[in-house]
Amino acid sequence: MSAEDLEKYEAEMELSLYREYKDIVGQFSYVVETERRFYLANGVNLIPRTGDGDMYFELHLTDAWVWDMYRPARFVKQVRVVTFKDVNIEELERSELRLPDEP
């Protein structure tokens, strides 16, 4: 597989993932962003932790969808995430759930 073929494949996968996101975003209440992943979830529990002088976050999500084009099953009943960076959690209002049509 050439570099061009790989790039085309990844672009197609990303577009497919965006379309899936657009179809399901209305089913979720929260958008959660960590340094490694983007999630949609209906339940979010953020627990700040400390250990050895460092602070980190333990994040528990329920009924989640994971933005990851290499993951075969993106819908997950429960997710536990540990992160050492900031976590952005936004509660969606139903009026915010409309996405623009694709170009």
Please report, as a single letter, which amino acid is at residue 58: E
Is pLDDT at 95 greater than 60 in this prediction? no
Domain that holds residue 26: 3-93
State if pTM tops 0.75: yes
13 beta partners:
none
Q: Is residue 103 part of a domain?
A: no
Residue 98 within a domain: no
Question: What does the alpha-carbon distance between residue 95 and residue 93 come to, in Å, rounded to a whole number?
Answer: 5
Is 55 part of any domain? Answer: yes
What are 50-75's pLDDT values in tens digits? 888 889 999 999 999 999 888 888 99
Q: Specify the number of domains making up the chain.
A: 1
